[in-house]
Amino acid sequence: MGSLKNAIIAILVPLPSIVFYLCFLNSSPFPLPSNLHQWCTDRPLLLANILFFLNVNLLFWLIGLLLSNHWMIDLYWTVIPVMLAHYYEAHPKAEPSGLRSRVSVLLTWAWSLRLTHSYFRREKWEWGAREDWRFSDMRRRHGKQWWWISFFAVYLSQQVFLMGICLPMYAIHSSNKPWDTWDFIATITCITGIIVAYFADTQLYNFVQRNESLKEQGAPILLNLDKGLWGYSRHPNYVGEQLWWWGLFMFAWNVGYGWMFWGPLVNSMCLAYVTLLVEQKMLKKEYRAEAYRQYQKTTSVWIPWFRFSIGGSKQKKG
Residue 42 CB contacts under 8 Å (≥ 6 apart), including other chains = 93
Residue ranges of the chain with per-residue pLDDT less than 70: 1, 310-318
Say if residues 275 and 267 touch (Cβ distance below 8 Å). no
What pLDDT is attached to residue 308? Answer: 83
Q: What is the DSSP string of 17-35?
A: HHHHHHHHSTT-SSPPPHH
Helices (H) and strands (E) in the chain, counts: 16, 0
- Residue 96 confidence (pLDDT): 79
Look at residue 28 in the predicted model and tell me its pLDDT: 79
Q: Cα–Cα distance between 60 and 306 in angstroms, integer?
A: 43
Helix%, strand%, coil% for the chain, nearest 5: 75, 0, 25
* CA 208/CA 225 separation, integer angstroms: 9
Give the per-residue pLDDT at 2: 73
Angle CA(95)–CA(96)–CA(99) in degrees, nearest 5?
155
Nearest partner of 200 among 165, 226, 161, judged by Cα: 226
Report the predicted TM-score, pTM, of the whole model to 2 decimal places: 0.92
Q: CA-to-CA distance for 92 and 311, rounded, in angstroms?
A: 60
Whole-number pLDDT of residue 318: 42
